[in-house]
Amino acid sequence: MAGWVLRTFADPRISRRLLRHEHEVIVDEVRHHWAAYVVPALEVGGGLLLVVVGVFSQVDAAWLPWLVAAGLWLHAGWRALNEHMDRFVITNMRVFRVRGVLAQSSATMPLRRILDITVEKPLLGRIFGYGHFVFESAAQEQGLREIKYVARPDERDLTIQEVVQRSGLRGRVD
């Protein structure tokens, strides 16, 4: 039972979204950089501090810090699971994103629709090795615009450019 729950709610099952009959293969599956988990970790730490406060509180008010700590832990767990379930996938045919815990959404962009990829690296991103992707496509409105907390963003950008080049969608640069 616990295995089913973990598979259902903690695994986005990317491989079942591939177009196998078209020989689509995963080139890279991007999970969030550890920096995306800093806020949930801080919430867990805040909950621990509240538990300590609860231990040293008067008996009639000790339940309140414990209740707030439990709320913080549930919120932190939810945020961490939400970050874990948010995946950006590069295949030999397209890029797509799957996200959501209870209800899932996905957005797909064929490689031929990618016009431009902007890699934004804030100061902390440059220090810790993450960045954010901003996609511009041939479509006016798109579901796949911004991907945050991408580890090794320059390497991932080159991977996408190589896949686009190998697919023959852009002319050779001489």
Q: pLDDT (tens digit, 9 = 90+) per residue, 100-109?
A: 888 888 888 8
Q: Are both 43 and 124 inside the same structural domain?
A: no
Q: Which residue's structure tokens are 């080159």?
A: 158
pLDDT at 57: 73
Q: What are the tens digits of pLDDT across the range 46-97?
A: 999 988 887 877 777 778 888 899 999 999 999 999 888 888 898 988 888 8
- Provide the greatest CA pair distance for the chain: 77
Let me know whether 96 and 24 are in one domain.
yes
Strands laid side by side in the 87-91 sheet = 26-30, 87-91, 94-99, 105-110
In-domain check, residue 171? no
What is the span of the domain harbouring residue 50?
39-79
171: its two tokens: 């002319």
Q: Residue 78's pLDDT is what?
A: 92
Q: Each residue of 1-20: pLDDT tens digit?
A: 555 555 566 676 777 778 88
Neighbours of 48 (CB within 10 A): 13
pTM metric for this prediction: 0.75
Q: Would you say residue 117 lies in a domain?
A: yes
